[in-house]
C-alpha cells in the first residue's frame, strides 16, 4: 500500500514537471512568434535617453536638449548624410556602421577623404550618454561637441563647422527639418550639434543575454558562468559592470608610438594610456584595440595572457603575466558572447533613413 502511494506521488510529480516544461516551451514559442510584432511596434516609437534598471545616472544631461521625434529624425538624417564632409563622400555612418555596433567593420583604422587612413581604430557607438569623455585619448568632454573632432579632421571628413552650416542652409530640405525640430528654420552650430546628440544619446544597448540573465529571465550556461567568474576576477577592475568600462584610461600593453592620453594632458605618466572600451557587442565590432591590430577576441586574450613583454606599457591593475589558461580563455569567450545585443544592431530606428 505504501509502495503504491509513492508511485502515485512520483506520477504526480512527473506530470507537474512535464506541465511546467510544456508551459515554459509554450511561453518561449509565443515570445518568438511575437518578436516581429514587437519589432514593428518598436519601429513606430522614438528612442529616448532612458536609464536601464540598475544602471548609473547618465553623464549627459538631456534636460536642455530633450529628445523629440523631429529632433531624433533630424539627427539620424545628419548622421547618415555625406554632405557633412568636404567633398560629399564621407558620412558619420561611413566609419560607424550599425551592423558593426556602429564601429568600422574589418577596418583596422578609420578611412576618410580620398581613402586616407587615420591612426586609430574607429570605436563602436553605444551607451555614449554614460561617457564623461570621448575619443581614444579623451580629447572631447561633451557629447554635443564630439562630432566636431571627425568633422574637422583632415583625414576623416575634412570640413569646418561654418561650411557645414552654410551647406545645410542652402539645402532644399534641411530648413524645414530644423523648423520641425526646433521651432524655426534657423540653422546654426548649436542646433546642428544638438540634433546629432539626440540621435547619439539614444544609442542604448542593454538587451543582451547577459542583461536578461541579470533580470532573471534567462540563465548562463556552465561555460558562461565560469567565464563570468573569471571576468570578475581578472577583468572587472577596468571593465566595470554594467557598462563594462570604468570610463577611465589604461595602458593595454601595446606601445605603437601613440602617446594616447598624454596628447591631451601633456603628462608623461599618461603616455600610452587609452580610453577603456566597453566589452559589449564585441562580436560585431572587430578588429580590436586602439590600433585595430587584432582580428579576433582570442588574439586579444592571448595578448593579455602571453603577449605582453613591456611592463612600462601596462596598466598597474593588470599584472605583466596574466597567465590565463586555455580553458579560462574559452570560458571568457563564452561569457563575452553573452554581451552581444542583436536587437541593437537590428533596430530599424537607428538605420539609414530612406534616400531623398
Q: What is the DSSP string of 181-221?
A: HHSSS---HHHHHHHHHHHHHT-----SHHHHHHTTSS---
Burial of 188 (0-12, 13-18, 19+ CB in 10 A): middle
Using alpha carbons, select from 194, 178, 177 the residue that is nearest to residue 186. Answer: 178
* Whole-number Å distance between alpha carbons of 45 and 310: 50
Q: Which three cell numbers stand for residue 166?
A: 552654410
* Whole-number Å distance between alpha carbons of 281 and 288: 12
pLDDT at 21: 47
- Please report the domains of the chain, with CATH numbers, ordered by start residue: 62-205 (1.10.760.10), 209-340 (1.10.760.10)
pLDDT at 108: 96
How far is C-alpha 333 from the chain's CA centre? 18
Cα→Cα distances 186→73, 156, 165, 192, 356, Å: 17, 27, 10, 10, 21
pLDDT at 24: 46
Q: Which three cell numbers stand for residue 71?
A: 529632433
pLDDT at 135: 97
pTM of the shown model: 0.86
pLDDT at 245: 98
Cα→Cα distances 136→139, 259, 293, Å: 8, 11, 15
pLDDT at 312: 64
Q: Which of the residues in the chain have pLDDT under 70? A: 1-43, 309-314, 319-322, 355-356
Amino acid at each position: 500500500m505504501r509502495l503504491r502511494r509513492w508511485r502515485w506521488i512520483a506520477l504526480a510529480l512527473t506530470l507537474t514537471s512535464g506541465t511546467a516544461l510544456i508551459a515554459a516551451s509554450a511561453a518561449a514559442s509565443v515570445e518568438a512568434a511575437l518578436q516581429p510584432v514587437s519589432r514593428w511596434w518598436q519601429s513606430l516609437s522614438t528612442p529616448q535617453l532612458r536609464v536601464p534598471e540598475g544602471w548609473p545616472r547618465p553623464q549627459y544631461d538631456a534636460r536642455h536638449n530633450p529628445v523629440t521625434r523631429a529632433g531624433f529624425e533630424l539627427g539620424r538624417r545628419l548622421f547618415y548624410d555625406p554632405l557633412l564632409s568636404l567633398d560629399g563622400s564621407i558620412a558619420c555612418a561611413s566609419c560607424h556602421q550599425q551592423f558593426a555596433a556602429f564601429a568600422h567593420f574589418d577596418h583596422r583604422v578609420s578611412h576618410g577623404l580620398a581613402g586616407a587612413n587615420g591612426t586609430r581604430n574607429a570605436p563602436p557607438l553605444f551607451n555614449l550618454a554614460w561617457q564623461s569623455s570621448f575619443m581614444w585619448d579623451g580629447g572631447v568632454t561633451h557629447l554635443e561637441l564630439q562630432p566636431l573632432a571627425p568633422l574637422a579632421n583632415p583625414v576623416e571628413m575634412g570640413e569646418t563647422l561654418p561650411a557645414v552650416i552654410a551647406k545645410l542652409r542652402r539645402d532644399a530640405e534641411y530648413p524645414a527639418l530644423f523648423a520641425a525640430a526646433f521651432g524655426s528654420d534657423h540653422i546654426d552650430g548649436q542646433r546642428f550639434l544638438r540634433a546629432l546628440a539626440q540621435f547619439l544619446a539614444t544609442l542604448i544597448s542593454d538587451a543582451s543575454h547577459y542583461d536578461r540573465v541579470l533580470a532573471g529571465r534567462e540563465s548562463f550556461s556552465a561555460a558562461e558562468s565560469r567565464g563570468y567568474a573569471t571576468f570578475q576576477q581578472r577583468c572587472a577592475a577596468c571593465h566595470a559592470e554594467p557598462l563594462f568600462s570604468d570610463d577611465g584610461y589604461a595602458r593595454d600593453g601595446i606601445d605603437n608610438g601613440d602617446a594616447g592620453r598624454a596628447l591631451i594632458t601633456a603628462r608623461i605618466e599618461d603616455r600610452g594610456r587609452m580610453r577603456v572600451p566597453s566589452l559589449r557587442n564585441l562580436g560585431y565590432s572587430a578588429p580590436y584595440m586602439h590600433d585595430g591590430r587584432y582580428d579576433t577576441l582570442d588574439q586579444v586574450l592571448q595578448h593579455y595572457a602571453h603577449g605582453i613583454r613591456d611592463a612600462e606599457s601596462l596598466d598597474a591593475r593588470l599584472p605583466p603575466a596574466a597567465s590565463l589558461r586555455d580553458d579560462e580563455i574559452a570560458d571568457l569567450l563564452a561569457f563575452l558572447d553573452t554581451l552581444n545585443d542583436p536587437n541593437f544592431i537590428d533596430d530599424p530606428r537607428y538605420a539609414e533613413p530612406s534616400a531623398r
